[in-house]
């Protein structure tokens, strides 16, 4: 586990516990029968002990799944509060018509009845195969069983229950020591394929025991997500079910206001970054984590657009997989990104090794760059040569034959 760090006079320390590390949260997970494999966890409930501030980010895909639509409605209805999140894996409940909406609402109602709260205080998320209806005769009893088993210390079960093609669970938590006291932020996320965030193609859940207004919580979620969950891509595909939720219980007694907002922001960034990079490391068929930094852009948005274009290039991703220092593919992707790019002034570095400068290659450096590309963590840096002062980083992974196998067999 990473060591404690000090940022802006804050001491941020990694801790165990994931999404239930903060005070005031419990969770439980079980196998209710959505997934065919016996005992595979496929349902989880995350609950706050009292009504919590809540915020959410959702897919920008216009084909939005029923749980996305229901959760949006609930956040709007409550003005940003919630008691619980219910999540199933193995079935996306997307493109399922009126029955899908009814099922998503019933999931919320079942949790609400068990917790004695209003259904609008329950957020819903689903992940799995699109176009398949939930087996509510299994889900409803499962919800009852999960609520009855709610407890602290079960964050790792929740992390496993939300997985689909993920090769490993993803959870992380930190404590933040401030002049006002100590609070905790925890989280878990899933994502492996269909990863092109805008919002992120994933499910993610963050919790904190700080006392935060819904407005500030929403701001922290959006700002931390911009440079983490929205700065990753596996395959350029945007899902129907992307959801990222945050809940704040206030159980630590530490109040986050405008003055203390940086403390919450840094904690959200720390947890979100770890989870987001875990999604890329666990990308379908991935063998390498690739960071693409673009500099010298006229705006941060321009830098992000170029970095994302390079990150989503199948030619770049396959070259990295094969340890081929093909700088031409990087230059070509940058040049077609739609952002100002001066090829006569641009530079390309791979692993800090200069491969292209002022319109000409440095092919003598290719063998050293190839050695870097054989590693597990790859750095690509592009200077646009436009005299700008903005930069951005996007993380992605390589593209392998295993990605094709996984997605060729996903439904069958």
Q: Give the three-class secondary structure for 249.
A: coil
pLDDT tens, position by position, for the chain (412 residues)? 666 666 567 899 999 999 999 999 999 999 999 999 989 999 999 999 999 999 999 988 889 999 999 999 999 999 999 999 999 999 999 999 999 999 999 999 999 999 999 999 999 999 998 999 999 999 999 999 999 999 999 999 999 999 988 889 999 999 999 999 999 999 999 986 544 444 334 899 999 999 999 999 999 999 999 999 999 988 766 788 899 999 999 999 999 999 999 999 999 999 999 999 999 888 777 899 999 999 999 999 999 999 999 999 999 999 999 999 999 999 999 999 999 999 999 999 999 999 999 999 999 999 999 999 999 999 999 999 999 999 999 999 998 888 788 777 766 6
For CA atoms 3, 349, 231, 9, the dihedral sign is: positive
| Residue 167: per-residue pLDDT | 86
CA 345 – CA 360 distance, rounded (Å)? 10
Q: How many residues does the chain have?
A: 412
pTM for this entry: 0.90
| Residue 255: per-residue pLDDT | 97
| Residue 325: per-residue pLDDT | 97
Domain positions in the chain are: 5-281, 289-408
Residue 92 DSSP symbol: -
The helix (run of H) or strand (run of E) holding residue 295 is strand 289-297
CB-based contact 248:213 (threshold 8 Å):
no
Reference 18, options 245, 271, 224; nearest CA is: 271
Helices 66-78, 97-115: crossing angle, 10 deg rounding:
50
| Residue 192: per-residue pLDDT | 67
| Active site members | 201
CB-based contact 246:54 (threshold 8 Å):
yes
CA 282 – CA 272 distance, rounded (Å)? 15
- Its CATH class, for the domain covering 289-408, is alpha beta
| Residue 234: per-residue pLDDT | 80
CATH, domain range 5-281: 3.60.70.12
Which residues contact residue 26 at a Cβ distance below 8 angstroms, ignoring those fewer than 6 apart?
A: 20, 46, 47, 49, 150, 151, 152, 154
For CA atoms 332, 334, 232, 397, the dihedral sign is: positive
């Amino acid at each position: 586990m990473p060591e404690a760090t000090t940022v802006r006079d804050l001491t941020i320390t990694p801790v165990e516990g994931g999404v239930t590390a903060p005070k005031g949260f419990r969770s439980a997970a079980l196998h209710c029968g959505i997934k065919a494999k016996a005992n595979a966890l496929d349902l989880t409930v995350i609950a706050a002990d009292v009504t919590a501030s809540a915020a959410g980010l959702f897919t920008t895909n216009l084909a939005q799944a029923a749980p996305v639509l229901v959760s949006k409605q609930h956040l709007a209805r409550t003005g940003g509060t919630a008691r619980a999140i219910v999540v199933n894996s193995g079935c996306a409940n997307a493109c399922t018509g009126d029955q899908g909406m009814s099922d998503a609402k019933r999931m919320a109602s079942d949790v609400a009845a068990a917790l004695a709260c209003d259904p609008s205080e329950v957020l819903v998320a689903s992940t799995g195969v699109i176009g398949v209806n939930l087996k509510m005769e299994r889900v409803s009893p499962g919800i009852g069983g999960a609520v009855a088993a709610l407890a602290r210390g079960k964050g790792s079960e929740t992390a496993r229950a939300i997985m689909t093609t993920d090769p490993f669970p993803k959870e992380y938590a930190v404590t933040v020591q401030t002049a006002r006291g100590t609070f905790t932020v925890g989280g878990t996320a899933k994502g492996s394929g269909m990863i092109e965030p805008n919002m992120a193609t994933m499910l993610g859940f963050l919790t904190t025991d700080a006392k935060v207004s819904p407005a500030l919580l929403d701001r922290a979620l959006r700002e931390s997500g911009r440079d983490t969950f929205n700065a990753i891509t596996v395959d350029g595909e945007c899902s129907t079910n992307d959801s990222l939720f945050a809940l704040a219980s206030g159980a630590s007694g530490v109040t986050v206001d405008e003055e203390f907002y940086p403390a919450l922001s840094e904690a959200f960034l720390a947890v979100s970054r770890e989870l987001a990079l875990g999604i890329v490391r666990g990308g379908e068929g991935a063998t390498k984590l690739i960071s693409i930094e673009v500099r010298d852009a006229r705006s941060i948005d321009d830098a992000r657009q170029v970095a994302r274009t390079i990150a989503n290039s199948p030619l770049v991703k396959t070259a990295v997989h094969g340890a081929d220092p093909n700088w031409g593919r990087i230059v070509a992707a940058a040049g077609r990104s739609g952002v100002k790019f001066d090829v006569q002034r641009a530079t390309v570095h791979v692993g800090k090794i200069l491969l292209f400068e002022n319109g000409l290659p440095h092919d003598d450096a290719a063998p050293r760059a190839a050695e870097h590309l054989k590693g597990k963590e790859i750095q690509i840096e592009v200077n646009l040569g436009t005299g700008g002062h903005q930069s951005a980083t996007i993380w992605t992974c390589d593209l392998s034959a295993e990605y094709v196998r996984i997605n060729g067999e996903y439904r069958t």
